[in-house]
Amino acid sequence: MTALYALPDHEVVMALVPHIGNTRLSNDAAVERIRAVPGIVPLAIDPGTEGSDALVLWADIGDHPFREWQYMFTVEALAKAGQIGEGFTTALDILLDNRVLADPIEPAGFMFHISRCGSTLTGKAIARSPRNLVINQGGPLQRGFWAAITGDFTQPAEPSADNLAMFRNLVLAMTRRRRPEQAHSFVKFISWNTLYIDFAMQAFPQVPALFLYRNPVEVIASVLRETSAVLWAKGRRQAGFLAGCDWQATQDMGEVEYLARCFARYLEVAEQAQRPVAHVNYRDINPANFPAMLSRGFGFEPGTDELALMAEQFAFHSKDDSDSRKFQSDSAQKQSEIADEDKALVASFCAGPMARLDASPANLFPQAERLVG
């Protein structure tokens, strides 16, 4: 069974919250409901097909604080508990209307990443403080928005005034303050959104960003164990954009080569970002370095008590929301799962950009400064 986070966001939401599709509101009527009900946020975007319009799927999730390791698991948990209130759809162009913004929290930081590299850990650690609202791979930002503005990946994501405005309002609609203690928001994007890093930062020119990465051999081993949205895209038009080649060529391409091509693209795009992006290698994400990641990467300096609360996350497996599974390093195990010839193949695509990121002045923990090896 394919994981929820690997499937198109609108398909997942419509399956979990079927009543959301029963009501289509005009933009004016939707704005009235959004401003009247503090829990209404976008859950997904249906990019539409030829002959059908793109839609935003909205629903009331109350004051739930987003503690799950994926946005879609929050939706799933609330749906199963019967805790999702009214829902409706609107045209995509509602995101051009600033009236959808009801007490939004401007993001204090963006997180981009290569996948399976400590980004979930980082997001969940920050989210342990009740003052922080963290969007962990928000559904509408996974595929739907990008598919809508690119004609299902048949053209680039044009950073036009309208597209940037819609993106900005979409993010701020998700980061609306739904609990009085919330003071800061952070957005962790799905891995392949790294390819849109310049677009995102053009929409939010004041927001600092981190790019987290890891040895791609270990990332690929993890993806082959558990699947991903990138594997779902293989053989579809989106795969051509992800891998930087003819999408039809990905149909018969081996999974290791396909993933290596995709991850090399992420590394290169992050390295060449038009605005400064701080880089952090997975091996440097630990409790000792975490305060510096926040202060040097985001300019964010929470108090001692909050930092202690965040540090508790490092004891647990980040993809276990019950905190019953202790963290154990599995890098060696993942290395052993990839054949030597496949490691060489991955290196042929990824070794160069990995080395450049490790040596980059934007890397927060160059060799001489590493606190932990």
Sequential pLDDT tens for the chain (373 residues): 467 777 889 999 999 999 999 999 999 999 999 999 999 999 999 999 776 799 999 999 999 988 888 899 999 999 999 999 999 999 999 999 999 999 999 999 999 999 989 999 999 999 999 999 999 999 999 899 999 999 999 999 999 999 999 999 999 999 999 999 999 999 999 999 999 999 999 999 999 999 999 999 999 999 998 888 899 999 999 999 999 999 999 999 999 999 999 999 999 999 999 998 999 999 999 999 999 999 999 999 999 999 999 999 999 988 777 878 787 788 888 999 999 999 999 999 999 999 999 999 999 997 644 433 3
- Domain annotation covers residue 44: no
Residue 214 domain-assigned (yes or no):
yes
Query: pTM for the complete prediction?
Result: 0.94
91 found inside a domain:
no
Buried b / exposed e along 21-39 (16+ C-beta atoms within 10 A): beeebebeebbebbeebbb
In a domain, 169, yes or no: yes
Alpha carbon distances (Å) from 114 to 87, 222, 281, 324: 33, 12, 10, 26
Q: pLDDT value at position 2?
A: 64
Domain count within the chain: 1
Residue 6 lies in a domain: no
Q: Output the six-digit token pair for 106.
A: 């401007």
CATH number at residue 246: 3.40.50.300
Structural domain containing residue 164 = 68-82+104-369
Cα–Cα distances (Å) from 62 to 66, 77, 78, 88, 332, in that order, read 11, 13, 10, 15, 42
> Which residues have CB under 8 Å from 35's CB, separation 6+?
99, 102
Q: Which two tokens stand for residue 330?
A: 């599995």
Domain for residue 9, yes or no? no
- Measured between alpha carbons, how far is 56 from 228 in angstroms, rounded to an integer? 23
77-86: Cβ within 8 A, 24+ apart? 79/16, 79/17, 84/17, 84/59, 84/60, 85/37, 85/39, 85/59, 85/60, 85/61, 86/23, 86/33, 86/37, 86/40, 86/59, 86/60
Establish if 3 belongs to a structural domain.
no
Quote the pLDDT of residue 83: 96
Neighbour order of strands in the sheet with 87-91: 40-46, 55-60, 87-91
Reduce the DSSP state of residue 373 to 3 states and report it: coil
Residue among 35, 205, 166 nearest 104 (CA): 35
What is the distance between the alpha carbons of residues 217 and 332, in angstroms, rounded to a whole number?
11
Please tell me the number of Cα atoms within 13 Å of 179 on its side-chain side.
17
Q: Is residue 121 part of a domain?
A: yes
